[in-house]
């Protein structure tokens, strides 16, 4: 039976994202509308440079929106202080990790910063959340390694563990599977699906793994030049929304299989 999640965790209304230089605005994507329920796994997809990362950073208030509204658990994003937002949203970006000299355990512990006292002492609950996060993403055996000793894929998992340790109702992940092989991509997205459904966290991530996302996500947001489409993967397939995603000289979308076919 379809379980209806309790409430809207994240909502965008007529949102425009992009960059401001001096007084000029450079809009990357606009007219973005969606409502994501608590406990849903949502993929943001679209071609290179369409604005997926820009949108994700805007949803996490890493950069300002250019127009429209973002509501976090029913309140406008600008009403949340930085500290309050850090207890609502965790975000993993693609920027290189600067704290590579830390051990895995120390890096994951940083996720508890919004909750620790001013000298950063970890409570029993903090330690437990750190341990749970490390074991959830399956990096227990790397716990005492320095981050500079890890492969890109291992580091990516550790960054997700740090966000999990932050234990926020909303997680935003920019291309969390980039450095992983196909098996580990699927495993990680299955893990995110499990986390979203079992802990009622709302997880939005950007990805180029459209076919895997179609199979595992509750909803998808497709960004295209001048428009965005949001819905359940099956709705998007029946609306033929994936068919215009790539220029048709190289790829077509087969709605029967939910997969792209190369035009030879």
Ligand X SMILES: Nc1ncnc2c1ncn2[C@@H]1O[C@H](COP(=O)(O)OP(=O)(O)OP(=O)(O)O)[C@@H](O)[C@H]1O
Number of alpha helices (DSSP H) and beta strands (DSSP E) in the chain: 8, 12
Query: How many C-beta atoms surround the C-beta of residue 248 within 10 A?
Result: 11
List of residues 6+ apart from 71 with CB closer than 8 A: 8, 10, 11, 13, 77
Q: Which is nearer to ligand X, 54 or 241 (CB)?
A: 54
Q: Please give the Cα distance from 43 to 220 (Å, whole number).
A: 5
List of residues 6+ apart from 239 with CB closer than 8 A: 229, 231
Residues between 190 and 219 that touch ligand X (CB under 6 A): 206
CB 154 within 8 A of CB 147: no
Residues between 1 and 20 that touch ligand X (CB under 6 A): 19
Q: Which is nearer to ligand X, 54 or 105 (CB)?
A: 54
Residues between 21 and 60 that touch ligand X (CB under 6 A): 28, 46, 48-54
**Nearest distance, CB of residue 69 and ligand X, angstroms:** 20
Q: Please give the Cα distance from 31 to 38 (Å, whole number).
A: 23
**Nearest distance, CB of residue 250 and ligand X, angstroms:** 17
Q: Which is nearer to ligand X, 8 or 27 (CB)?
A: 27
- Each residue 83-112 as x (binds ligand X by CB under 6 A) or -, in order, gives ------------------------------
**Nearest distance, CB of residue 84 and ligand X, angstroms:** 26
Point out which residues bind ligand X (CB under 6 A): 19, 28, 46, 48-54, 206
């Amino acid at each position: 039976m379809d379980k209806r999640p309790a409430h809207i965790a994240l909502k965008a209304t007529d949102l425009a994202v992009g960059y401001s230089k001096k007084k000029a605005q450079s809009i990357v994507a606009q007219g973005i509308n969606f409502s994501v329920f608590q406990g849903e796994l949502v993929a943001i997809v679209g071609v290179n440079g369409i604005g997926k990362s820009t949108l994700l950073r805007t949803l996490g208030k890493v950069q300002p929106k250019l127009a429209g509204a973002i509501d976090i658990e029913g309140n406008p994003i600008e009403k949340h202080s930085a500290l309050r937002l850090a207890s609502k949203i965790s975000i993993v970006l693609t920027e290189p990790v600067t704290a590579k000299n830390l051990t895995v355990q120390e890096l994951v512990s940083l996720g508890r910063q919004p909750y620790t006292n001013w000298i950063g002492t970890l409570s029993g609950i903090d330690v437990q959340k750190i341990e749970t996060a490390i074991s959830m993403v399956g990096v227990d055996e790397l716990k005492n390694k320095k981050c500079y000793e890890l492969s890109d894929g291992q580091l990516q998992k550790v960054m997700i563990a740090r966000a999990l340790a932050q234990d926020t109702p909303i997680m935003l992940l920019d291309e969390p599977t980039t450095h992983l092989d196909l098996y580990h991509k699927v495993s990680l997205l299955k893990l995110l699906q499990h986390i979203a459904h079992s802990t009622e966290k709302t997880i939005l991530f950007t990805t180029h793994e459209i076919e895997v996302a179609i199979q595992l996500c509750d909803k998808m947001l497709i960004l295209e030049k001048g428009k965005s489409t949001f819905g359940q993967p099956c709705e998007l397939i029946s609306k033929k929304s994936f068919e215009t995603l790539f220029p048709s000289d190289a790829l077509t979308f087969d709605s029967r299989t939910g997969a792209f076919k190369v035009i030879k």
